[in-house]
Amino acid sequence: MNTTTNSAIQHDASAQCFFLHIEGQRCVLDYTLVGQTMTITHTGVPEALGGRGLAGQLTKFALEYARAQDWKVVPRCSYAAVYIKRHTEYEGLLA
């Protein structure tokens, strides 16, 4: 069930993360950026918010952002790696 929209997702470039707040809790996708390569290091959703597709929304948003910046992506986070395998339209972003 989709409980939010991408417009709720925010990007903190200085902290190298994408995040959103739902019901007072923070969901996050952390990355590192070296040159034009974004390495996704962690995707975290509090257990109480699990099963709502929030990690997927964060991952899609981050990948779309990377595409817009003409960055390559290294999915070190297992969730992001599986997401890209399931959504082959993002395979071209892989470094």
Please report the pLDDT score of residue 2 as a whole number. Answer: 47
Q: Would you state the pLDDT for residue 1?
A: 42
List the domain boundaries for the chain. Answer: 6-88
Beta-sheet strands, E only, within the chain: 10-12, 17-22, 25-34, 37-44, 72-75
Fold of 6-88: Aminopeptidase (3.40.630)
In this prediction, residue 24 carries a pLDDT of 92
The pTM of the full predicted model, rounded to 2 decimals, is 0.92
What integer is the mean pLDDT of 75-93? 98
Question: So what's the pLDDT on residue 7?
Answer: 64
Q: What is the pLDDT of residue 6?
A: 61
Helices (H) and strands (E) in the chain, counts: 2, 5
71 touches 92 (CB < 8 A): no
20 pairs with which residues across the strands?
Answer: 27
Over residues 11-57, the pLDDT tens digits come to: 999 999 999 999 999 999 999 999 999 999 999 999 999 999 999 99
